Amino acid sequence: MERNSHESTREKRLEGILEEETTTITQLNHLTSERIQQEKNSEWLSGDFEFPKFGFTINTRLHLGRPTLPYEKKSTRSQQRDAAKLSSENQQQTGLIMKAAGIVARATEQSDLAAVLKEVSKSPTRPSKIRTTLINSEKFSIPLNNEEALTFLLNNNFSKQQYILLMKTLKKQN
């Protein structure tokens, strides 16, 4: 029995020594491969290195899904929603929004729009006066004088009956 225990102890010692030798060999292999890599790459590792500058843009989209459309390409409902959101963000200050629209119109060389916005903003009663003028101008047509009316009828080959019918219809509408 003593011999078996002595042999097992000896085997255990040998296994421990073998294990130590294996780890030492593994460590040496690792150190050797590291040293070989350093020697191979020592030239560029010891020198200066500049990172190349790439001309790319960083994608700054914060959300996934459908991309947002510009205002002009949106549907009428989406335009109304965006306008309501902008209005509520600025506490429904129409003067501020009108002024901003005028500045943008001038910046984008839309001088007619800028002039109209400036005219509308002159006084608080100005928009209602402009509106009534526009509505009234659409209701009343500019009549033709006698020569213009006769020229129109002759150029379009109207008969006397067609002329009378046309005049009756126009009188009913106005």
The predicted-structure confidence for 63-78, as pLDDT tens digits, reads as follows 678 888 888 899 999 9
Q: Is residue 83 part of a domain?
A: yes
Burial per residue of 76-96, b for 16 or more beta-carbon CB atoms within 10 angstroms, e otherwise: eeeeeeeeeeeeeeeeeeeee
Decide if 62 contacts 77 (C-beta within 8 A).
no
- 160 occurs within a structural domain: yes
For residue 71, being part of any structural domain is answered with no
* pLDDT: which is higher, 91 or 17: 91
Contacts 24+ apart (CB under 8 A), 9-18: none
pTM score: 0.40
pLDDT at 3 over 60: no
Count other Cβ atoms within 10 Å, centred on residue 70. 6
Highest mean pLDDT among 3-12, 15-24, 82-91, 135-144: 82-91
Q: How many domains does the chain have?
A: 3
129 and 174 belong to one structural domain: no
Q: What is the pLDDT of residue 139?
A: 66
pLDDT in tens, 142-166: 777 888 888 888 888 888 788 888 8
> What does pLDDT average to over the chain?
79
Structure confidence by residue, pLDDT tens digits, 90-132: 888 888 888 888 888 889 998 898 888 888 888 888 888 888 8
Whether 115 maps to a domain, the answer reads yes
- The tens digit of pLDDT for each residue in 78-97 reads 989 988 888 888 888 888 88
Q: 């509106």: which residue's tokens?
A: 131
Contacts of 60 (CB under 8 A, 6+ apart): none
Task: Report if residue 53 sits inside a domain.
Answer: no
Q: Residues, the chain, total?
A: 174
| Whole-number Å distance between alpha carbons of 166 and 133 | 28
Is the residue at 20 inside a domain? yes
Residue 69 inside a domain? The answer is: no
Provide the 10 A C-beta neighbour count for residue 117. 19
Per residue in 22-60, pLDDT (tens digit) is: 777 777 677 677 777 777 777 766 777 777 776 666 666
The answer to whether residues 86 and 131 belong to one domain is yes
- Whole domain around residue 167: which residue ranges? 143-174
